[in-house]
């Protein structure tokens, strides 16, 4: 396989991993997200190596649109991830607020401790 064909294959693998990563982010499947990110990290050195063997003109003409599309997909995944983080933060704040409210309710139903009262006979 020549470098151009191999680079096409590597970019196709990246695209599939990125699509699957987006689905995992949407589903909140964080172990899968980590798996897909690790797989892409393993592809990256090979993509760099093969890219250096492809003529600059060919690389620009044939692979620039592919790279632009992949970068767009990565930005979409990043936006999904940021939205999930915001949702998690909002949920955390809601749970904290609920916990404080429950403590206040509990305090209103439990009589204060009378251990500080002592009788002196």
Position 120 in a domain: no
Position 102 in a domain: yes
| Residue with the larger pLDDT of the pair 115 and 4 | 4
Query: What secondary structure does DSSP assign to the chain, as a single string?
Result: --HHHHHHHHHHHHHHHHHHHHHHHHHT-HHHHHHHHHHHHHHHHHHHHHHHHS-HHHIIIIIHHHHHHHHHHHHHHHHHHHHHHHHHHHHHHHHHHHHHHHHHHHHHHSPPP-TT-----
- pLDDT band, residue 120 (cuts 50/70/90): low
Q: Look at residue 19 in the predicted model and tell me its pLDDT.
A: 98
- 81-114 confidence digits (pLDDT tens): 999 999 999 999 999 899 988 888 888 877 666 5
Mean pLDDT of 61-69: 95
Q: Look at residue 109 in the predicted model and tell me its pLDDT.
A: 79
Q: For residue 40, give every residue at least 6 positions away whose Cβ sits within 8 Å of its Cβ, in sequence order, or none.
A: 14, 17, 18, 21
CB atoms within 10 A of CB 11: 20
As a whole number of angstroms, the distance between CA 53 and CA 63 comes to 13
Question: Is the Cβ–Cβ distance between 76 and 22 less than 8 Å?
Answer: yes
Q: Which domain holds residue 60?
A: 3-106
Position 114 in a domain: no
Position 64 pLDDT exceeds 90: yes
Position 47 pLDDT exceeds 60: yes
Number of domains within the chain: 1
Position 40 in a domain: yes
CB atoms within 10 A of CB 19: 14
């Amino acid at each position: 396989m020549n470098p151009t064909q191999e680079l096409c294959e590597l970019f196709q693998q990246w695209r599939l991993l990125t699509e699957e990563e987006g689905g995992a982010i949407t589903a909140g499947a964080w172990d899968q997200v980590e798996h897909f990110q690790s797989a892409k990290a393993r592809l990256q050195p090979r993509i760099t190596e093969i890219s250096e063997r492809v003529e600059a003109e060919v690389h620009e003409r044939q692979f620039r649109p592919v790279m632009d599309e992949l970068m767009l997909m990565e930005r979409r995944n990043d936006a999904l991830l940021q939205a999930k983080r915001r949702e998690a933060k909002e949920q955390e704040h809601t749970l904290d607020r609920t916990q404080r409210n429950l403590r206040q309710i509990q305090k209103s139903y439990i009589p204060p401790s009378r251990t500080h009262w002592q009788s002196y006979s």
